[in-house]
Structure 1
Amino acid sequence: MAKSLLIISRQAPWSGPSAREALDIALAGGAFDLPLGMLFLDDGVLQLLPSQNAKALQQKDLTANLQALEMFGVEDLFACSTSLAERGMSPEALNVEPLNVLHDDEIAALIDRYDQVITI
């Protein structure tokens, strides 16, 4: 049986290649039917905002990658409620569905459910 993988994405979409790399890992794992989930934490929740202007920063828009996650079988998507609140973000206004919003005490239990964890 394949080991499960949780990818924790903590970087804003425009702060460098980390956000894109996290999504690429998720898409690759999904293509091979690896049981995996993604947790957006800290500035990583900014990836979930719609209508990002990546061209202004000469970056790649990650919206298509986020929307492709479900097609690749990556359906376990999580966001930290504290990270969202600190950035004035509402779960209803985000670009990803279904999205499970977790409180801080639920994040430790989530991490324990997976065999491997990658933080990017």
Structure 2
Amino acid sequence: MNATQKQIFTFISRTAPYGSNRPQLCLDTALAAAVFEQQVNYLFMEDGVYQLLKNQDAEAIHTKTIGRILETLNLYGIESIYVCKESLESRGLLLGDLVIESKLTNANELKTLLNSSDTVINL
């Protein structure tokens, strides 16, 4: 790979925000890719959409609230944030319920996004 050539990484976060280390692992890996100036797409689907909900408070379980951390993605240059339309709708959620601005994406758009990626990391 040429030193100036950026790879396109797409991170898929599928699990609920708490009870597993997968959301934090996905976030940490995406941030690492962004720090090395790679293009990062971040996709939330299935129960992963719950990570984006406003007004989360994880203090009772003695952990960091992931929504607050996700609010900093743009500081790392991660601006391509997607949320699966079907996952959001099947859980009765709206874009306005989310802590960060996300692009609502349907199944066909997801397929295009994944096919255009050099690397897909599915957590």
Name the TM-score class by shorter chain. over 0.9
1:112 aligns with 2:115: yes
The answer on whether the counterparts of 1:78 and 1:102 sit within 8 Å (CA) in structure 2 is: yes
For the residues of structure 1 that align with 2:10 and 2:79, how far apart are their CA atoms? 12
Q: Secondary structure at the match of 1:59?
A: coil
1:35 is the counterpart of 2:39: yes
Q: Identity of aligned pairs, percent?
A: 33
Contact 1:48–1:96 under 8 Å retained in 2: yes
Q: Mark the runs of 5 or more structure 2 residues left unpaired by the alignment.
A: none
Aligned CA RMSD, in angstroms, stands at: 1.1
Structure 1 gap ranges (5+): none
Q: Which residue identity does 1:22 align to in structure 2?
A: C
Taking the aligned partners of 2:29 and 2:52, their CA distance within structure 1 comes to 17
Give the one of 71, 74, 81 matched to 1:77: 81
Are the counterparts in 2 of residues 26 and 69 from structure 1 also a CA contact under 8 Å? Answer: no
How many Å apart are 1:105 and its aligned residue? 1.9
CA contact (8 A) 1:29 1:36 kept: yes
Moved more, 25-34 or 83-92: 25-34
Residue 73 (structure 2) pairs with residue 103 (structure 1): no
Shift of 1:37: 0.6
Higher-Rg structure is: 2
1:7 is matched with 11
Residue 11 of structure 2 aligns to a residue whose secondary structure is strand
1:47 aligns with 2:82: no
TM (normalized to structure 1)? 0.93
Q: TM-score, with normalisation over the residues of structure 2? A: 0.91
